[in-house]
Chain A
Amino acid sequence: MIWLLLTVFTPLAGALLLPLLPRVSVAGWLNLALCALSLVGALGLAVEVLLHGSLAGDSFRVDAFNVYLAVLTAFVGLTTAIFSRPYMYYVHNEEKRVSRNGMRLYHSMYQGFLFTMLLALTTDNLGILWVAVEGATLTTVLLVSLYRTPAAIEAAWKYFILCGVGIAQALFGTVALYFAAQHVLPPGANGLSWSTLYAIAPQLEPRVMVVAFVFLLVGYGTKVGLVPLHSWLPDAHSEGPTPMSAVLSGLLLNVALYAVVRMKMLTDAALVHSSTPQLAGHLLMGFGLLTFLVGAISLHRRRDIKRLFSYSSIEHMGLMTFGFGVGGPLATFAALLHMLVHSLTKSSIFISVGHATHIARSQRIERIRGLIRTQPAVGWSLLLGVVAIAGFPPFGIFTSEFLLLVATMQAWPWLTPLLVLGLLVALAGLFRAVQPMVFGAAPVGQYPVRANMLPVILQLAMVLILGIAIPGVLAHWLDQATQLISGRPLL
């Protein structure tokens, strides 16, 4: 319990405290320290869950599924904070693009964003989950518009409107779910508690559940970046500050997908005896595959480096959604592993991209050239990150994509060629853009920048280890989550 409070409420305290600090440099360090504290809490929570099984209370529920995402969220929050401190100081002090008040807003919203993410992950109440995900939209809208350029304001407006509309659909779905529950609820129970709902799910009216699930999928799916509701994602990623792109891709999309999967678990349990028991899975597969293919094709002919990698995020979220839709232990395990390695890899890529844009003083791909000559550390980490994200062995994404392909071959063999084709198209799109950026001739007058590559090295090393041999503890952990979601363990 104490660990949970430490994990979730440290960022809240930070969000309220950091705007009071006038000194930008101190705020950066404090931001980092708060993230570290939250990570300590999350690790403590993980150990507790590992030793005693899942924890459940009135308003929270921590099991194998969400505790691993909570640790991941706190970890990526910390590494991005390590990167953000000098990066944002540079933006504030050298480029003068953000005022001191802007920096106060930035730090406060960074912590506020982490708070909403961790709250959404650990709460048991579906209403609070909705409030937290909407809160995440509100905090990140302010971050997207931080630079106050017309493009940034346009991106933030689009993000706000599209996600606001999407998330409203999710609230309607939540109301419908609550409505379905009210008729079969034991007296005194909370009809929005996920644990309660899961226990009584077989009695929920299937047809109302279908309506509720469709609305919930569209609502939370908007935040996952599912096609055709994805158009906010590249804009928000490209116009906001780079640390925010890292946490958006690495964390927000995961949490939204987490919400979708929780709803799928309820719907599956409610539809067991109906005529369409696989409906939720099929919907996820359809949306996932469409998102994956559109994302892969969109990787081609991009001009802006951050838009390029945000389309890569769309592609990977599609793949994960597809994996959860296929269901079964193998595909679920693969999707869970993919969530983990994608977060680590993509946030490390955005960190490299942040340094690369400072070196080249531009976000345009054709102006970023010769990184490996100018600053080998940045060039290599970008290259290795892209190798990892494209799914080359020995990195972890290869493992999860391979497992997913195997699961698809078992369950839906005729979809395998589409997946392989999409992966190849994505690979070509990424390398076409990245090869000249890394190896091209460096323009005259391009100098290295101060860069802290520690987070990138740490994250890519973890992805590498996950690709070579998943540690026993972690495999066991993911397997428990697999059992929760698909009903059977894999190992």
Chain B
Amino acid sequence: MNFSALPLLDQAVLVLAAMALFSAFALLAQSRLLSAIHVFAWQGALVAAVAALTGAASGDVNLYISAAITFVLKVLLIPWMLHRLVRRLALERQADPLSYPALTLLAGAAIVVFADWVAAPVAQFEHSATRNVIAISLAIVLLGMLTMVVRRQALAQVLGFMAMENGLFLAAVASTHGMPLVVELGVAFDVLVAMVLFGVFFLQIKDSIDTLDIDRLSQLASSVEQDDDTEPPR
């Protein structure tokens, strides 16, 4: 692909998308929670900027609204809620280093190659910039999933979950100029409710298990199925 031959708008969108992909890697490797929350907020800002740029190019008001919703939700509200949770749970100083950083990042790189391969069929009836953005957004979704797999901290898992939503939003904006507004609103509502629920859960997990380490959340299969002494709840 000859990058400089593309229209200016496509170039800008590609750069922003590539930066979002970079932030997905940063999220994967960042061990300090507060920094990870900031990275997530930056990723939301980049995705919202892509939506606003696409809106400016196509003159579609819906895209401006989507961009505004994303900005408020992913850049301001959710990071703020996470910040509050971190402070309330006194996790500011807690680091959560990866067990195998090199292996994890290699897996991340493999995911990017895989996403590029999956997006290959798109190329034939769409110019290559869109195809690249679709590949990038799929990679962000899958990297979010990887983040959820490799992180032990419940809050880091939530960041992975929300990063997946960012990738999905990027895919919708870049490939189809956004879904219909009613769907966008529904998705945004679901994300918001999910975030509130996550917050409720953290407090409950903290109360009942006294840690947010997800490794401790593996009692169920073992205790209910094997351990004869404890009375499981009805």
Residues of chain A having any CB pair with chain B under 8 Å: 97, 125, 127-128, 130-131, 134-135, 138, 141-142, 145, 147-158, 160-161, 164-165, 168-169, 171-172, 174-176, 178-179, 182-183, 190-192, 205, 207-208, 210-211, 235, 238-239, 302-304, 307, 357-358, 361-364
Contacts and interface: CB of A to CB of B under 8 A. Distances in A.
A-B pairs with the 6 shortest C-beta distances?
A127-B183, A131-B186, A207-B121, A150-B208, A179-B175, A154-B217
B193 interface: yes
Contact of A151 (B138, B167, B224): B224
Interface stretch (B8-16, B60-68, B85-93, B197-205): B197-205
A361 B138 CA distance: 49
B141 interface: yes
19 contacts: A128-B186, A131-B190, A134-B187, A135-B193, A145-B201, A153-B208, A155-B220, A157-B214, A157-B217, A160-B197, A160-B198, A161-B157, A168-B161, A169-B141, A172-B168, A175-B168, A179-B134, A303-B226, A364-B231
A3 B219 CA distance: 47
Nearest to A208: B121
Contact of A239 (B141, B145, B165, B233): B233
Given A128-B186, A211-B118, A153 B205 contact: yes
A14 to B, nearest CB: 18
Per DSSP, are chain B's interface residues mostly helix, strand or loop, or mixed? Answer: helix
B172 interface: yes
Given A127-B180, A178-B176, A183-B125, A153 B201 contact: yes
Contacts of A147: 233
A363 B220 contact: no
Per DSSP, are chain A's interface residues mostly helix, strand or loop, or mixed? Answer: helix
A57 to B, nearest CB: 14
Contacts of A165: 145, 148, 161, 164
Nearest to A366: B228
A161 B161 contact: yes
A175 B201 contact: no
B120 to A, nearest CB: 8
Interface of B: 118, 121-122, 125, 134, 138, 141, 144-145, 148, 154, 157, 161, 164-165, 167-168, 171-172, 175-176, 179-180, 182-183, 186-187, 189-190, 193-194, 197-198, 201, 204-205, 208-209, 214, 217-221, 223-226, 231-234
Contacts of A97: 233
A219 B145 CA distance: 13
Given A157-B154, A175-B171, 8 more contacts: A138-B194, A153-B201, A154-B220, A156-B201, A208-B122, A303-B224, A362-B232, A362-B234
Given A128-B183, A207-B121, A235-B220, A303 B225 contact: yes
Nearest to A132: B186
B208 A148 contact: yes
A238 B224 CA distance: 9
Contacts of A191: 176
B195 to A, nearest CB: 11
Contacts of B183: 125, 127-128, 130-131, 192
Contacts of A307: 224-225
Contacts of B172: 175, 178
A205 B171 CA distance: 18
Contacts of A303: 224-226
A225 to B, nearest CB: 16
A194 to B, nearest CB: 13
B220 A151 contact: yes
Contacts, number: 153
A160 B197 CA distance: 9
B176 A151 contact: no
Contacts of A211: 118, 121
A145 B219 CA distance: 15
A205 B193 contact: no
A128 B165 CA distance: 16
A150 B179 contact: no
A364 B118 contact: no
A362 B219 contact: no
A141 B214 CA distance: 17
A171 B168 contact: yes
Given A131-B186, A138-B194, A178-B179, A364 B232 contact: yes
A151 B232 contact: yes
A149 B221 CA distance: 15
A175 B134 CA distance: 10
Given A165-B145, A168-B141, A208-B122, A138 B179 contact: no
Q: Which of B165, B214, B226, B232 has most A Cβ within 10 Å?
A: B232
A131 B217 contact: no
A150 B168 contact: no
Nearest to A142: B197
Nearest to B138: A172
Contacts of A131: 183, 186-187, 189-190
A357 B141 CA distance: 42
Contacts of B208: 148-150, 153
A361 B234 CA distance: 8
B161 A151 contact: no
A150 B193 CA distance: 22
B224 A192 contact: no
A303 B118 CA distance: 43
Given A153-B205, A363-B233, A158 B217 contact: yes
B122 A138 contact: no
Contact of B176 (A153, A171, A175, A235): A175
B233 A151 contact: yes
A14 B228 CA distance: 41
Contacts of A238: 224, 232
Contact of A164 (B161, B179, B234): B161
Contacts of B193: 135, 138
B114 to A, nearest CB: 12
Nearest to A361: B234
B56 to A, nearest CB: 20
A176 B145 CA distance: 19
Contact of A157 (B145, B165, B179, B201): B201
Nearest to A209: B121
